[in-house]
Amino acid sequence: MYAVIMAGGKGTRFWPLSREKRPKHLLNITGEKTIIQYTVDRIAPLVAKNNILIVTGASHSDETREQLPELPAENILVEPVGRNTAPCIGLAAMHIRKKNPDAVMCVLPSDHLIKNTESFIASLIAARDTAKRRDCLVTIGIRPRWAETGYGYMERGKISDTVGGATVYQVRSFREKPDPVTAEKFLKDGKFFWNSGMFVWKVSALLDAIQSLLPDLYEGLLKIEKAIGTNRETQVLSEIYGGIEPVSIDYGIMEKAPDVVMLEGDFGWNDIGSWDALWDVLNKDAKGNVMRGRVIRSGASNCLVYSPQKMVTLIGVEDLIVVETDDSLLICRRGASQNVKTVVEHLEERGMKEYL
């Protein structure tokens, strides 16, 4: 089995700590190791290090290699330009096909938190065995715990199979991030699951789907595949990849493929997509505070402070997020941190590159 870890995001909702040159997955905000290091460690019981591929951008490739020295250097695949998830996954699939055309591959985001590794590995094994049985595309859904508007959803259909004690369901539909009213309906319905962005399939099944549903992408990937391992690989990748149309794997493949199935994952999943999500998952004191750094608090409750350098004092406040870096300070109310990405957009519009 091979694993492909997508590590191309900017993590704009974790500004000011997450920056273009050092995005969220390269930070150690959840523990002693960085998020991508935890991601690699998590799958080590199932996937050999030689079979783990990282797809990242040129500006992050050196740091990624430094953080993951146990992986072969050639397993860090560098996109010359971001083209969304379908080209990213297709590029990795071509590299795997060169090594083993009969392989099964799992695709994982680099920046998620999973608390129960044993249950996670069990889910991947069931997904792998499902993919081996037939040429289906397998995804893992998470039963929603609240009416989240920041995630995409999948509608569970009829039972398709049972593998290793796990129930496999057909996916009836994919839904975009809903408004609050629709999210509440999804939660009450019981058949809608969060789209975790984790996939398992035979390399051949994925590439057949790309050839059928995204033929222009497949044509470009074929040209890149021919150059893999030659002295023209970097040149051809640069020439071809920039002309590929950006498209997500969900929109381009999963929503249109004829045989998409889902397993329910129950392993303490969180995509830690914002400072609010980080507050949700980290240990808190008796007043509900999460503190990183030197913090003096008097009458403060349900706050998150990340300030490894400057001392922060909180007096009589609640539900605040405070994040300090060398050049910036973020203060916002808990529940509003999804809007941090608009600050990044504002900085981009003003050309304030030194803060990005």
Predicted confidence band of residue 150 (pLDDT cuts 50, 70, 90):
confident
pLDDT score for 13: 83
**pTM as predicted:** 0.93
The ranges of the chain annotated as CATH 3.90.550.10 are 2-270
pLDDT score for 19: 87
- State the architecture of 2-270 in CATH terms: Alpha-Beta Complex (3.90)
Q: In 10 A of CB 268, how many CB atoms?
A: 14
- Tell me, rounded to whole angstroms, the distance of Cα 232 from its chain centroid: 30
Six-digit token string for 138: 């397998």
Phi, psi of 237 (to 5 degrees): -60, -45
Give whole-number Cα distances, 302 to 25, 71, 287, in Å.
25, 40, 6
Residue 86 pLDDT greater than 80, yes or no: yes
Predicted confidence band of residue 16 (pLDDT cuts 50, 70, 90):
very high
pLDDT in tens, 152-171: 999 999 999 999 889 999 99
Question: What is the C-alpha R_g of the chain?
Answer: 21
Mean per-residue pLDDT, 96-106: 96
Residue 217 pLDDT greater than 80, yes or no: yes
pLDDT score for 12: 81
pLDDT score for 338: 83
